[in-house]
Amino acid sequence: MRNLDENTITDAVLARHEHVGNARLTEIAGSLVRHLHAFAREVNLTESEWEQGIRFLTDVGHMTDEKRQEFILLSDTLGLSTLVVAMANRKPAGCTEATVFGPFFVEGAPEYENGADVANGATGVPCFVSGKIRGLYGEPVPNARIEVWQADADGLYDVQYPDDGEHRGRGVLHSRADGSYHFRSIVGEPYPIPHDGPVGRMLDALGRHPWRPAHLHFMITAPGYERLVTHVFREGDPYLDSDAVFGVRSSLIAPWLQHEAGVAPDGTRMATPFYTLEFDFVLNRAAL
């Protein structure tokens, strides 16, 4: 097809996709083309602005590597991640809500027994975390795989430091026969998402801050249940209502309780103040 103009280009592109043979791919690609073209028409996009957009996406790609996923940051800060998570995780009332995955999960975290210190040297005030994993009808979920990860007191994840082969502030454990779990870690602190790259420049241009409220990541999997990817947020955090990635749910906010020096819940005698966090997770049954 020749001599296309602003009125005919969209239909011409869509026509090229008619014989793909993959109905879902055709649907997604077609919708993407229609919305992209509608966006360009709506804002009367200039060539200079289009070039700036291409440079921005190129910079996002250049910033992405094995330790930093700038495209996930972009998706998170535009609210796309939260939208997709919400659509993909519609659950019955009473189930623990899902929230964004984030860019700092890594495969191969060390496995720990219940009661172990998953901080493994990460800086921060000690915190003892406990709770139960159960199903929607109250049944305990034994041997659920619980993956946890968090930033340290300086707001950094282990993967943001020079690689020394050690995992800190992350680990894998399993619920006990009654669905209970407990481990030692550190207190969650608010931190800014990485903002020294193109996403950070975008936030600056839009007058937005890069801060996330303090939280602890969980990913829980168990046979017969849907996977749960979520956070527990620290009650009272100043960024709960302006999370840079739109991930906060009221049902996921919990108190980190401070205690004076003394005996911790696991019997450890603590010479300094410490915190406790108790949070139960309710999993949704997987569809048969």
Could you tell me the residue ranges of all domains in the chain? 1-45, 74-283
Confidence class for position 248, pLDDT limits 50, 70, 90? very high
Tell me: pLDDT of 2 over 90.
no
- pLDDT of 139: 97
Indicate the helix (H) or strand (E) that contains 74: helix 70-77
Query: Where does the pLDDT of residue 18 fall: very low under 50, low under 70, confident under 90, or very high at 90 and above?
Result: confident
Q: What is the CATH number of domain 74-283?
A: 2.60.130.10
**Burial status of residue 65 (CB atoms within 10 A of its CB: 0-12, 13-18, 19 or more):** exposed
pLDDT tens column, 188-199: 899 999 999 999
- In which band, very low, low, confident or very high, does the pLDDT at 19 lie, cut at 50, 70 and 90? confident
Dump pLDDT digits (tens) for 91-135: 999 999 999 998 889 899 999 999 999 999 999 999 999 999 999
Q: Which of 230, 227, 222 is nearest to 141 (CA)?
A: 222
Q: Please tell me the predicted confidence (pLDDT) of residue 6.
A: 94
Query: Of residues 1 and 106, which shows the higher confidence score?
Result: 106
Whether the per-residue pLDDT at 78 is higher than 90: the answer is yes
For residue 165, pLDDT over 90 is answered with no
Mean of the per-residue pLDDT values of the chain: 95
Are the C-beta atoms of residues 260 and 240 closer than 8 Å to each other? no
CA neighbours within 13 Å on the CB side: how many for 107?
1
Residues 58-62, mean pLDDT to the nearest whole number = 98
Q: Span 141-167, mean pLDDT?
A: 93
Q: How confident is the model at residue 21 (pLDDT cuts 50, 70, 90)?
A: confident
Token pair recorded at residue 137 = 């009808």
Active site residues: 157, 191, 212, 215, 217
What band does 229 get if pLDDT is binned at 50, 70 and 90?
very high
The answer, yes or no, to whether residue 222 has pLDDT greater than 90, is: yes
**Helix 23-43, helix 9-16: angle, nearest 10:** 170
